Chains A and B, each alone.
Chain A
Amino acid sequence: MAKWFMLTLVGEDRPGIVAKLTHALFEAGCNLGEASMMRLGGNFTMMLMVGFDGKSKTLSDVVTPVSESLNLHLHVDEINAALHTHLEPDVRISVYGADRTGIVSEVTGALAESGLHILDLESDVAGSKDSPIYVMHIEGHAAEGIDSLRAALSLMKDRGIETSLEEIDTLIG
């Protein structure tokens, strides 16, 4: 059975990165697993699980010609991983406010103390250069219940941080 590797690639965004990279992986017999890719600050970032029946060095050699031609930083780690190990989020939290340092730290600090296990987080800076707005969405598991998280978030308003929390009530049908 193939081993799992985590490939991380970062570099200036341009069209065609995913196609070129995954073509090279496919040609080398790799099987792709879960992945997250997005454009951050003009850079394209990729994190992807790659199943490969070989050594880390061999996989690096497969990817390097492509990553160098696209000017991407490449990092390869063999990882302990498996598919079908998803944890289901049961809460979704949205946060926004006038951008300043410390928003993520304050919000996630309070949430962590109240039992939140973050499964997915994405954030963005919107607004204008003169008055930027920080926006963050979190999905997670509320190990100590939703009320505990609500209490933690209620303290954020006085700090100029607007928050909203919604239970994720997953329908199984």
Chain B
Amino acid sequence: MAILNILVFPDPVLKQASEPVTEFDAEFKQFIADLDETRLDAPGCVGIAAPQVGRFQRVALVDVSANPKHKSNGYMVLVNPEIIEWEGYKKGREGCLSVPDYTGNVMRATSIVIEAQDADGVMQRYECEGFEARAVQHEIDHLDGLLFLDRLVSRRNDLFERKVYKK
């Protein structure tokens, strides 16, 4: 096991798209274990993508289950993930291990369906909502060379975001 070095912007490689995974061998599984150890080493971090540690393959890990109030699929290994359904959108605050000391507001779909292979290459399907859906979209963006900085919306002049009016 190893904690990997996290690349930070303005390192230009974070803006490059990653390649699909084709080999699901022992080395790949070890990499996934190291990647998750790296994620867990960062306080509060709910997701990490392979390009953040300089491996330009389409792999992202998401686990929002540490906070029980988030609806969660638990620990998800997302290899070659595709978002196949989107619904709703909501603004939320994001930060990133690759962009220290800055958080910003980003619009994301509120519920998504994803198809991805797992660490063994077996196709899986996940339905994600809310915070977990946000995390998945943030991580998949990394695989396409996008940072949350590419999707910022203003922190100011927001409309009311009340979902339900309460008397």
Q: Which residues of A contact B (CB under 8 A)?
A: 84, 86, 88-89, 94, 96, 120, 122, 137, 139, 164, 166, 168-173
B97 lies within 8 A of A171 (CB): no
Instruction: Count residues on chain B whose CB falls below 8 Å from chain A CBs.
Output: 30
Interface residues of B in 136-159 (CB under 8 A from A): 138-139, 155-158
Residues of B within 8 A of A88 (CB): 103
A171 lies within 8 A of B138 (CB): yes
B95 lies within 8 A of A171 (CB): yes
A171 lies within 8 A of B160 (CB): no
B92 lies within 8 A of A173 (CB): no
Task: Identify 15 new A-B residue pairs, CB closer than 8 A, beyond the known A169-B92, A172-B94, A173-B97.
Answer: A84-B101, A86-B101, A86-B102, A94-B160, A120-B155, A139-B155, A164-B161, A169-B93, A170-B103, A171-B131, A171-B134, A171-B135, A173-B45, A173-B48, A173-B95
CB distance from B143 to the nearest CB of A (A): 12
Q: How many angstroms between the C-alpha atoms of A170 and B138 in the bound complex?
A: 12
Most buried by B among A86, A122, A139, A169: A169
A170 lies within 8 A of B94 (CB): yes
14 of the cross-chain contacts (CB-CB < 8 Å) are A86-B102, A96-B160, A120-B155, A137-B157, A164-B162, A171-B47, A171-B93, A172-B43, A172-B44, A172-B45, A172-B95, A173-B48, A173-B96, A173-B139
CB distance from A145 to the nearest CB of B (A): 14
Q: Which residue of A lies closest to B130 (CB)?
A: A169
Q: Which residue of A lies closest to B60 (CB)?
A: A173
Known A-B contacts A137-B156, A139-B155; A170 and B93 likewise in contact (beta carbons under 8 Å) = yes
B42 CB-CB contact with A under 8 Å: yes
Q: Which residues of B contact A (CB under 8 A)?
A: 42-49, 62, 92-97, 101-103, 131, 134-135, 138-139, 155-158, 160-162
Q: Which residue of B lies closest to A94 (CB)?
A: B160
Q: How many angstroms between the C-alpha atoms of A139 and B103 in the bound complex?
A: 13
Residues of B within 8 A of A164 (CB): 160-162
* Cβ-defined partner of A173 (8 Å) among B94, B101, B102, B161: B94
Q: How many angstroms between the C-alpha atoms of A62 and B79 in the bound complex?
A: 56
A171 lies within 8 A of B162 (CB): no
Residues of B within 8 A of A86 (CB): 101-102
Most buried by B among A89, A96, A171: A171
Q: How many angstroms between the C-alpha atoms of A34 and B102 in the bound complex?
A: 12
B96 lies within 8 A of A172 (CB): yes
Residues of B within 8 A of A120 (CB): 155
A168 lies within 8 A of B93 (CB): yes
CB distance from A122 to the nearest CB of B (A): 6
